[in-house]
Amino acid sequence: MPAQTITADLIRNLQPPGQGQRIIRDDRLKGFGVRITANGALSFVMHLSIDGKERRHTLGSYPVMTLTEARELARQYRRSHELGRNPFAQIDAIKTAPRILDLWERYDQEQLPQKAVRTAADERAMWRDYILPEFDNRVVKDISADDIDQLHRRITQAGSPFRANRVHSSLRRALNLAIRWGWVEGNVANGLARNQEPPRNRYASADELAAIWRALDELQSRDAAEAIALLIMTGARKSEVLSARWADIDLDKGIWIKPAATTKQRAMHHAPLMSAATELLRKRRAQADDDAVWVFPSTGASGHLTDIKKAWRQVCEKADLKGFRLHDLRHTFASHVVSDTGSLYVAGQLLGHTQAQSTARYAHLLDDAMREALDQVSDKLTGGRR
């Protein structure tokens, strides 16, 4: 079809084809045209020869874009092309630029398998519930610090300040990897004013511990009762106890070697067991099948016990515990080790901490031990003066 001068009247009187699309090229500006589809949708297009091949780019839809605006944009493309540039290069770059969804898919495939199962599942939930609904198809390099601040603020204002911090941490880690992959030059998630998280220092007192043991004696589920007992006696995390395997426990030496795949630090943890814990495990082993794999087997998909929330609620009710979480048993274990041994190092080794700062939260429990040590050297330092 010969080119025509594209005018407002021509556009208004265009009739849609029976099927497909029809393009009318302008006779005044080379490459410029108007397209109408079978359903009557109108848009402006620009044709240019790039590397010997004709490329077509949609400038905009009519009437959102006017004829005057479309012609001016087409003129800019033509001028750039005649100067030897590729006016479609930026458009191509945007089309192929990595999106947040691409970032998530690569992060999920390459990084999360290196983390503990529970941690990986939690991060997947954060991306599913917060990050992807917010950014999804946005280009990674177009995400701004303000975008991330606003997401953090919305989650906080919804009543989940700690969750907001966790979401931010996950996104920041992913963006650090995007720098390594060459997707962005810097991490816009850095510098955020995170919500304050006062450390939780809830330990069971001697009376509370006694009440917990009495409640465990009365608990109907013996598996849950003995799992909780091991939490008290080992300071291990719930996931570590529930997924414990007989192959990793040496009952003769009283050693539990936790595989890296089961620990939060992703490092093997060589944990000595107190005699009471070893005795409990001996009794369970004697009652288990010879080919048993799990210390706390279950008929579920994992093959081992995964949930003791109901049992723990029953224990708390019987023991009259207020505001006490299952994880606080780990803090309780650590507090007794620190106060009785006077050593943060020993506590850190038993807990499986790989960094000293993780155990530093218990430093205040050393006061009595340090005071006792001072009393022992007092006479030497003061010459016997009081």
The pLDDT tens digits of the residues spanning 186-209 come to 999 999 889 987 766 788 888 999
Helices (H), 83-144: 89-96, 100-110, 117-126, 132-134
CB count in 10 Å sphere of residue 307: 12
Better-scored residue on pLDDT, 27 or 361: 27
Q: What is the DSSP letter of 252?
A: T
pLDDT tens by residue, 53-111: 888 888 889 999 999 999 998 898 888 877 777 776 666 656 678 999 999 999 999 99
One DSSP character per residue, 159-182 reads T-HHHHHHHHHHHHHHHHHHHHTT
- Distance, in Å, from the CA atom of 92 to the CA atom of 94, rounded to the nearest integer, reads 5
User: 139: which DSSP letter?
Assistant: B
Query: Where is 295: in which H helix or E strand?
Result: none
Q: Flag whether pLDDT at 369 surpasses 90.
A: no
Non-local (6+) Cβ contacts of 164 within 8 A are 152, 153, 155, 156, 194, 195
Please compute the mean of the pLDDT values over residues 326-331 and round it to a whole number: 88
C-alpha span between 136 and 118 (Å, rounded): 24
Name the residue with tokens 């699309």: 21
Tell me how long the chain is: 386
CA 203, 206, 207, 209 torsion-angle sign: positive
pLDDT > 80? residue 276: yes
Q: What is the mean pLDDT of residues 256-276?
A: 79
Treating both helix axes as pointing N-terminal to C-terminal, what angle do 161-180 and 100-110 enclose, rounded to 10 degrees? Answer: 90
- What's the maximum distance between 2 C-alpha atoms anywhere in the chain? 114
Answer yes or no: are the C-beta atoms of 55 and 47 closer than 8 Å: yes
Q: Which residues pair with 57 in a beta bridge?
A: 46
Summarize pLDDT for 122-159 with one digit per residue, the tens. 999 999 999 999 998 899 989 999 999 999 999 999 99
Query: Which letter does DSSP use for residue 56 in this model?
Result: E
- For residue 180, the number of C-alpha atoms closer than 13 Å in the C-beta half-sphere is 9
Is 1 a residue whose pLDDT tops 60?
A: no
What are φ and ψ of residue 270, in 5° steps? Answer: -95, 105
Terminal-residue alpha carbon distance, the chain: 112
Q: For the packed helices 222-234 and 309-319, what is the interaxial angle rounded to 10 degrees? A: 80
H/E stretch holding 131? none
pLDDT at 89: 66
The answer to whether the beta carbons of residues 254 and 273 sit under 8 Å apart is yes
Range with top average pLDDT, 77-81, 304-308, 362-366: 304-308
Q: How many CA atoms lie within 13 A of 41 on its CB side?
A: 10
Please list the alpha-helical segments (H only) found in the chain.
Answer: 8-12, 67-82, 89-96, 100-110, 117-126, 132-134, 145-157, 161-180, 206-218, 222-234, 238-242, 275-287, 309-319, 328-341, 344-351, 356-359, 367-382
Do 204 and 332 touch, CB atoms closer than 8 A?
yes
Among residues 257, 294, 253, 258, the alpha carbon closest in space to that of 275 is found at 253
Tokens (6 digits) for 320 = 């009259």
